[in-house]
Structures are given as C-alpha cells and as structure tokens.
Amino acid sequence: MANKEITKKQFEFLEHEFNYLEKEGVISQQEKVRMLGSYEVKGNLNFITILLSIGALLLGLGVLTFVASNWIYLSKAVKFLLIIAGLTGVNFAGVKVQARLPKTSRSLHYAGILIFGAGIFLIEQMFNISINFNSSFLLWAIGTIFIGYYLKDVFVLLFTSFLLFIYINGSIFVDETSYPLAILIFLPALYIVLKKFDYPKYLAFFINALAINTIALFLMEFVPKLGFENSNTIVLSILFVLGIVLAYIPVRAKLQNITHIQGHILHGITALFLTFDFSIWFPLAYFVFLLYLILKGSLTSIVIICALIFRYYIYSFDFLPKSLTFIIGGIMLIGFGFFFENQRKKGGELNE
C-alpha cells in the first residue's frame, strides 16, 4: 500500500492523537509507528525552496541585465552565443543535479525559463525581427509548457497561463487583423496536463479563467461583425448563460467547487451589466434567483446581491437617503447571517 500524502499540520495532529492513544494503552508503540508510517508529509514550500527560487530569479535577471548593459559593445554572434550558452548551461546543470539536488535543479530550470523569454525579445531586437509582442509571449509559453510538463511543476504551468493571458488579450486589443488561434491548441493541452497532475486547484482556477477569457474575447471580436444592433447585449447574455451553465455543469469532484464558483462570478458580473440594458423585470427575476441560490447554501450569491444593491444604491443616490440604503443593506446581510447560522445548527450544508 502506497503511503498517503498529507500536510505537515495533519501529520502533527495524527502524531499527537496516536501519542495520546499510546499513553492511554489503546495502542502499542509498534502500532503507533506502523500507523504513522502509512502517511507521508507533502512537499510544501519551505525556506530552501523559497531561497533557491529567489536565487534563480536573481541569477536570470543578473545575466540579462549584464547582457543588456553591454549590448551595444557586443557583436551579433557574441550576443547570440551568450543567449544560447546561458539557456543551455543552466538547463544542462539542472538536469545533471536533478537526482542529487532536486530543489537546486528546479531553481536552475526557473532561471532557464527567464533566460529563454528574455532571449526571444533580445534576438528579435538583434535581427530586427518585427512581430507583435503578443507573439513573443506565445513563443515563451510554448517553451514553458514543455518545461513545466517535464518538471511536473505547477508554478511553471501557472506562469505559462499568465503568458497566455498576455498573448490572447494582446492579440485582440493590439492587432485587430490577427486572432489568437493558437490558444485553441493550448487550452486542450493545458487541460490534458491538468488531468495528468491530478487537478491542482490553483492551476485549475487559472486554466478555467483562461478559457473563459478566451471565449469572452472571441465573442467580443466576432459578434459585432454579424451586424446585430445590440451586439454588446448579445455578448453579455451569452456569457451570462455560460455562467449559469458553469455553475451547474457536472464535472470531476476536484474541479467542481472551482468551476461552480467561477460560474457564479461570471453570471453575477454579466448580470450587473445587463441590468443597464434590460427593464426592471430582469433584475427582479435575477434577485429571486439569487435568493433561491442562497437557500441552497450559496455564499457567493450573497456577494452578488451586495453588488446588485450597491449598483442600485448609486442609481438612487439622488433621491434615496444614504442612511436608509445602508440600513436596508445591513438588515439584509444580518438576515442572511441569521439564516445561515440557523441552517448550520439544523445540519444544513453551505457551499462555495
């Protein structure tokens, strides 16, 4: 049987409890040792990891600033060789020490990622290659996703997602003649990697956000070209429905909470904008829907209701006494708090 991975805090709790059972004579010392041996503490961020990561960052920045400050005095061949040597050198060193010093190895690969990204921009400048900056971030992301998969490193893949955020948003807002079609290959690849890594929650959150961002940008780009009169309302309505779908779509247990929260956030934000486009029936119906979600134990819906109240508070600022608005909002929140506390005492479940 493989040892179960738990956090250090959980391990210390179990150790404390087993010591108590041993002291009371419920289990023997051998049984305590055997049971504790069934668990393994997860590798968390520790001082050494943080130290090495900062060291990798400083190393990468130091090399790059040195090259940049002496850039005009170097020939193109020397510049190119310096970039290649730096990139291959730190990655080769990382591979060589991986078995003996895994954390040091990882920090060297981090430095390699920084040198790789900076090298892309420096080579473009050196050879006067004229491409959009977002395409440079795409090339950087291509390199990091392979390194992240090789290292099985969630932080590298989070960094890849960050690079792709810049890529897709830059493609839409900077160059209107090109579309970030490469994201259609990247997103499935990222979800495959997510499955391989057993769905870490931070990575799942960022990849989902990247997918939602991509859908929103494509809608904003292509719906107006279809010639509809109220294209903004159509885009917001589609995203609103998408949020509802995400809030209830059945997904894997490890993804469920993240996907559902993101769905509630999406339909909440789009609904606030739609209240400006639709008549009063929409906010009233949506308010009833939010009350239904709260009855089901949705804490996120309370935040959305607060935002909805604030939106109408601004609208009614000129004719509704400020104190009355605060009193109404306070009464509602206290009411929700009383409801949830009462539900919890009855054994009801809260979620999100």
CA R_g for the chain: 27
Q: Is 40 left (phi over 0), alpha (psi -120 to 50) or beta?
A: beta
Confidence at residue 68, expressed as pLDDT on a 0 to 100 scale: 65
| Range in 64-68, 83-87, 202-206, 212-216 the model is least confident about | 64-68
C-alpha dihedral over 29, 34, 39, 45, to 10 degrees? 50
**Residues forming beta bridges with residue 61, ordered by sequence position:** none
Which letter, b or e, does each residue of 161-170 get, where b requires 16 or more Cβ atoms within 10 Å of its Cβ? bebbbbbbbb
Give pLDDT tens digits for 32-84.
888 888 877 765 556 666 666 677 667 766 766 766 666 667 777 877 887 88
Predicted confidence at residue 102, as pLDDT, reads 77
Q: Is 176 helix (H, G, I), strand (E, B) or coil?
A: coil
212 confidence band (pLDDT: 50, 70, 90): very high
Residue 118 has a CB neighbour count (10 Å cut-off) of 21
- 250 phi and psi angles, rounded to 5 deg: -75, 125
Instruction: Over range 13-27, report the average pLDDT.
Output: 83
pLDDT at res. 67: 65
Q: What is the pLDDT of residues 107-142, one digit of tens each?
A: 888 888 888 888 888 788 777 777 777 888 888 999
| Position with higher pLDDT, 231 vs 57 | 231
pLDDT for position 224: 85
Q: What global pTM score does this model have? A: 0.71
The single residue listed with the structure tokens 């909470």 is: 257
- Rounded distance, CA 94 to CA 87, Å? 11
The pLDDT > 70 percentage for the chain reads 80
- Give pLDDT, residue 195: 85
Determine the pLDDT at residue 45.
54
Those residues whose C-beta lies under 8 Å from the C-beta of residue 143, and which sit 6 or more positions away, are 113, 116, 117
Residue 350 has pLDDT above 60, yes or no: no
User: 295-332, pLDDT tens digit by residue?
Assistant: 777 777 778 877 877 777 666 555 556 666 667 667 77
Tokens of 168: 């897709």
Q: What is the pLDDT of residue 320?
A: 58
Read off the pLDDT of residues 153-195 as tens digits, 9 standing for 90 and up: 888 889 999 999 988 888 776 655 667 888 888 888 888 888 8
